[in-house]
Homo-oligomer: A and B are copies of this chain.
Amino acid sequence: MRTDAKRNRARLIEVAVQVFTEYGVDASLNEIAKRAGVGSGTLYRHFASREALLRAVVSERFASLTAYTRGLLDAPPDGTTLRSWLRAVIDHVTTFPGLASSVMAVLDGGASELAADCGGVRTSGEALLDRLQEAGVVDGDVEITDLLKLVNAIALATERMPGGRPQAERLLELVLRGVETRR
């Protein structure tokens, strides 16, 4: 790769983080190209689709979430393990407005460019969930995909509201505990 191409690529990712943070994942790609001081065609040359650009921006973050999840597996599980993990999931999926929507598409079986990165989280999360179920902390019939969808739904619903994070916390608590009276 030519050095100017390499520099353009790096610059585009850098600017994409700013613009995605500001306007969300559906922000104008022309705007990103302009702010990066690059023709719009250059953006498309480096990133064939919006998904490809998004992936370049979030893949390392998702990898670190996977690492964190694996770390939780090393410690003996207690009553706060699941809560901590799900909080971390919400944090990551909430990095940019609109990200949760893309992740949901992957969870639904869509073959997005994000699928590989989400897969790591899913797999490590599944191991963690198994462990928690063996320890009797989580109901045995809960499935990892449903759990992730539900938590992601909370992120999706709260990501655009002011004070969304504490709101997400309340809903997460409700999900963990359940709505119906314990009998």
Contact = CB atoms under 8 A, between A and B. Distances in A.
Interface class of chain A by DSSP: helix
Contact of A171 (B150, B177, B179): B150
A139 B171 contact: no
A22 B75 CA distance: 50
Interface in A160-183: 160-162, 167, 170-171, 174-183
B174 A142 contact: yes
A82 B180 contact: yes
Contacts of A161: 104, 108
B170 A179 contact: no
A67 B171 CA distance: 27
A180 B176 contact: yes
A99 B154 CA distance: 16
